Structure 1
Amino acid sequence: MVVKALSVVRRGAPEAQTLYEETEDSVRRREQAAELRKAGAMGVTTDGRPTKKQRRQIHQLHGSFD
């Protein structure tokens, strides 16, 4: 990615896109990161809050006893 200019004020995405130019390498890395996020999100399932046993295991793993 090549930065063309900096903005002093935070603006929207369309205006921000005029401030930089993506290289082929940055496009490839961005697409790979998106694929990894997508693949990781597909494997994550949650059943809500952890049970009391799971909380104990989490606290034991992190070393906190609260």
Structure 2
Amino acid sequence: MLSVVDVAVDVRKGSPSYDHSAGARLTAEGGEELFAPQGFAHGFCTLAPETCVAYKVDALYDRTSEVGIV
């Protein structure tokens, strides 16, 4: 079964849900999706080999805005 664990974290300083996260297991068979709005960090981990992930985005990729969170 092709699947991922997908997580979004609120990183908007001053937000009532700052530093809170939401996550879900998404599968190809189930067709689940996770919406990560602007101001949220997003990451995923594949749970099966050869899993492909597709994104819908609202802006072109900007390499200078890419960061990591420890």
Q: TM-score, normalised by structure 2?
A: 0.20
Q: Which has the higher helix share?
A: 1
